[in-house]
Amino acid sequence: MGYSDVPEPFTGKVACLPFLMEEYADRRGSEFMVTYVSKGFEAPGFAPGALVTHWSGIPVSVAVELNASRFAGNNAAARRSRGVQSMTIRPLMVHLPPFEQWVTVSYIGTDGNHREMRESWRLFDNPAGPVDTGTASSTAISQAFDIDTQETNRAKVALFAPRVLAQQSAADVGRPIPGLRSGEIATKNPIAFRAQKIKTSSGVFGHLRIFTFETDNPRSYVEEFIRLVRLLPERGLVLDVRDNGGGDMRVAECLLQVLTPREVAPEPVQFLSSPLNLRVCRAAHLRRGVSSHSAAFAARPLFRSVGMANVCRLVGVSRYASRASHRGEGRSRQPR
């Protein structure tokens, strides 16, 4: 059963609590801090900065580990990250519904007082993504993402980022972008990008957060990336892809090419050598005369002619790439 075949009433649903909790570490060890609270939710001293100490009577660190044990992450850190993330947000497309109807949260409020509250799990419809992955379009088959992270990120925006939703609504109709912070640059795609100038002791640098590579318009996505990069300081650029759940592989590869005048060769894709895959490959390449086992399983680019190979040339390159690449001369220079 595929993710799109999840039965009702779970399709598109997310179980959530009205706050987001994240882990950080200091000299005292790990702490679990409330970082976002849903609009309209109120509890005494419960706001960003409050520290969660116990979860339904269990020390919160132990509760996170118990939750993390349900995941098959590649390592302990990956499982713990999933465990923390799913303490308050669980897309039912990939998670079982919570066993408990409510949780009891013990916390140290922003006023320093120890308190406790009981909060029931809530259910809401997660916003749909821009790409219908149930079709056979080139855009649909180009998608490669972590479904859990992607669905969770959409839920976070819906629950805790009304500013981003307002910005996207304004961008969609060509209105001025509201709620820009100091140093932030307006973008036509705030769901995917946040660009800002960061002042440091070493000078002013560009910081470009890329939340997702998911898009139904690859050309527009790449053009917006280039436009934002051109508006950022040339001294240096930080590309921030934390919690990026993936998306269009062609877009991700094209962004790499934008940043260098040298040709970027995508890693070839290979199939596991098995009798079934051999038959599949032979059937798919019959017209090309592929008949041998080694030829059928030779490494190949995943996308050979999907129309994205020339996108970067068509929309231009950023000023972080050497202009010599246009003339085919010189060596690549490092960003200043």
105 within 8 A of 60, measured Cβ to Cβ? no
**What is the average pLDDT across 79-85?**
91
Question: What's the pLDDT tens digit per position in 239-286?
Answer: 999 999 999 888 888 888 888 777 777 677 666 778 887 787 777 665
pLDDT value at 113 more than 90? yes
Q: Kindly report which listed range (141-155, 273-287, 310-324) carries the lowest average pLDDT score.
A: 310-324
Q: How far apart are CA 257 and CA 103, in angstroms?
A: 48
pLDDT value at 68 more than 70? yes
pLDDT at 264: 75
pLDDT at 136: 65
Query: In sequence order, what are the beta bridge partners of 51?
Result: 33, 108
Question: What's the pLDDT tens digit per position in 86-112?
Answer: 999 999 988 888 989 999 999 999 999
pLDDT bin (cut points 50, 70, 90) of residue 192 is very high
pLDDT value at 40 more than 50? yes
pLDDT value at 328 more than 50? no
pLDDT at 15: 94
pLDDT value at 332 more than 90? no
State how far the alpha carbon of 18 is from the alpha carbons of 70, 114, 166, 316, in Å: 23, 19, 20, 44
State how far the alpha carbon of 335 is from the alpha carbons of 117, 205, 260, in Å: 51, 11, 10
pLDDT bin (cut points 50, 70, 90) of residue 301 is low
In the predicted model, what is the mean pLDDT of the chain?
Answer: 82
Q: How far apart are CA 268 and CA 302, in angstroms?
A: 6
pLDDT at 315: 42
pLDDT at 174: 93
Helix (H) or strand (E) segment spanning residue 106: strand 102-108
pLDDT bin (cut points 50, 70, 90) of residue 298 is low
Query: Which pTM value belongs to this model?
Result: 0.77
